[in-house]
Amino acid sequence: MTTQLPLGLRWPRRQRFEHFHVGANAAAVAAVQALATQSDAPWLYLSGTAGSGKSHLLMAACHAAHEAGRTVQYLPLRNLHDHFMAIRGVAGSQLIALDDLDVLAGEREAEHALFDLYNRARAEGTALIFTAQAAPAQLALVLPDLRSRLGACTQFTLKPLDDSERREVLKRQAGVRGIELDDSVLDWLFARYARDLGALLDLLERLDQASLAAQRRVTVPFLRAFLREEAAQSPH
């Protein structure tokens, strides 16, 4: 099912290596870049809280591998209803990326399918990369052998950017768009809005469009009115 998506939808432009804000994750990023392009690179398991960049790095790896001429499959497990069938349907790619592995913990059939995929990939020389919010030892897996296999991957815990780093990223990205975000706007935003960088960058993109349409600067009153209007338009 993932291979039928148009390339642009599978690997969004913003989720490339050049748009990943490394922070304290330089070693993890280098390992993911190596896995995307080198057939002998070690398999990877990335853990971290929501907003730490796990999906971004998987998408970036898939795009880089595709650009290098490798066949790729990406499974966003949190968005798939039948984990067993999704995993069973994966085959024939040189890189397989499985996102949000923790959602299948406790599903015996899905775990068996993943165990079989792991062994098959090892035999066929396919590269695997996994993400989850917790390390393998902390997942509520039914199969001890699967936990052991996942634990054999090279593991990295991604560290989210702190507030000062997020503010710097937002200022830089706003500057690219010709938007001036002064400290009062950022103070107001960080006190009242989600601090996940992806959500903040999505908001910045919408603000850019709204400010251009209204021919107004992004000020605290403009931001307050914009978010109020978005909330009123969102389905309840």
Report how far apart the first and last C-alpha atoms of the chain are (Å, whole number). 30
Q: How is residue 37 written in tokens?
A: 């392009």
Which of 157, 176, 197 is the last residue before a domain boundary? 157
Which of 157, 184, 216 is the last residue before a domain boundary? 157
User: 1 and 79 in contact (C-beta within 8 Å)?
Assistant: no
Q: Are residues 185 and 130 in the same domain?
A: no
Q: Are residues 32 and 142 in the same domain?
A: yes
12 has pLDDT over 70: no
Whole-Å CA distances, 209 to 9, 108, 124, 204: 21, 46, 47, 9
**Boundaries of domain holding 204:** 163-233
45 has pLDDT over 80: yes
Q: Are residues 54 and 136 in the same domain?
A: yes
Which of 122, 137, 157 is the last residue before a domain boundary? 157
Question: In whole angstroms, how large is the CA radius of gyration of the chain?
Answer: 20
Backbone torsion region of residue 69, taken as left when φ is above 0, otherwise alpha when ψ lies between -120 and 50, otherwise beta: left
The rounded distance, in Å, linking the Cα atoms of 82 and 148 is 24
75 CB-near residues (< 8 Å, 6+ apart):
2, 86, 87, 90, 96, 97, 98, 99
Q: What is the domain count for the chain? A: 2
Q: Are residues 141 and 168 in the same domain?
A: no
Condensed to tens digits (0 to 9), the pLDDT of residues 166-220 reads 898 889 889 988 888 889 999 999 888 876 777 888 889 899 999 999 999 999 9
Q: Of 160, 143, 38, which is closest to residue 101 (Cα–Cα)?
A: 143
Q: Are residues 27 and 56 in the same domain?
A: yes
Q: Are residues 170 and 149 in the same domain?
A: no
84 band by pLDDT with thresholds 50, 70 and 90: very high
Condensed to tens digits (0 to 9), the pLDDT of residues 92-139 reads 899 999 999 999 999 999 999 999 999 999 999 999 999 999 999 999
Q: Are residues 149 and 167 in the same domain?
A: no
Question: Which CATH number belongs to the domain containing residue 91 in this structure?
Answer: 3.40.50.300
